[in-house]
């Protein structure tokens, strides 16, 4: 009988190491391979958020890192600033700096353009 090839033929510690070299986005894509790959993505040390808005996803991920005390090596946030939408960036930065981590922080802010204000 022929055995099926699975993504879990590697030891978990090696999968974690491999995932740590991937970008946050690529690691998320690899998380569909198996539960081991998913767990490795959930503790990825390099967090990259590139989004135009919407805090709930970032909040959920950052709260998990805080609650499980997952160390963060790099925290990168690219966002569009909109004064009408509160963004708890200070909370996310605090979480990135706690857990005995010393992450490299990268923040990129784009000015929010409201089409109603352009004349």
> Are 56 and 96 members of one domain?
yes
Judge if 35 and 81 occupy the same domain. Answer: no
> How many angstroms separate the CA atoms of 33 and 35, rounded?
7
Alpha carbon distances (Å) from 43 to 11, 73, 95 = 16, 11, 14
Q: Name the residue among 63, 57, 66, 59 with its Cα closest to residue 28.
A: 57
Output 42 or 3, whichever has higher pLDDT: 42
Give me the domain span that covers residue 24: 10-44
Stretch (H or E) spanning 35: helix 35-42
pLDDT, one tens digit per residue, over 9-29 is 888 889 888 988 988 889 889
In the chain, which ranges are E strands?
Answer: 46-50, 74-81, 104-111
Per-residue confidence (pLDDT) for residue 8, from 0 to 100? 65
Considering the domain architecture, whether residues 54 and 100 belong to the same structural domain is answered as: yes
Q: Does 101 share its domain with 61?
A: yes
Residue 82 lies in a domain: yes
Same domain, 35 and 50: no
Q: What is the mean pLDDT of residues 33-61?
A: 81
Number of structural domains in the chain: 2
The answer to the question of residue 59 being in a domain is yes
pLDDT, mean of residues 53-57: 70
Instruction: Tell me: do 32 and 57 sit in the same domain.
Output: no
């Amino acid at each position: 009988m022929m055995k099926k090839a699975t993504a879990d033929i590697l030891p978990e510690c090696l999968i974690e190491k491999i995932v740590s070299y991937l970008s946050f986005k690529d690691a998320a894509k690899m998380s569909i391979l198996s539960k081991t790959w998913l767990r490795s993505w959930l503790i990825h040390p390099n967090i990259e958020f590139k989004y135009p808005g919407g805090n709930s996803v970032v909040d959920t991920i950052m709260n998990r890192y805080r609650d499980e005390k997952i160390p963060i090596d790099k925290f990168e946030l690219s966002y569009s600033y909109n004064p009408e939408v509160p963004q708890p960036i200070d909370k996310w930065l605090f979480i990135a700096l706690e857990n005995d981590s010393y992450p490299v922080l990268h923040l990129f802010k784009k000015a929010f353009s409201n089409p109603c204000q352009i004349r």
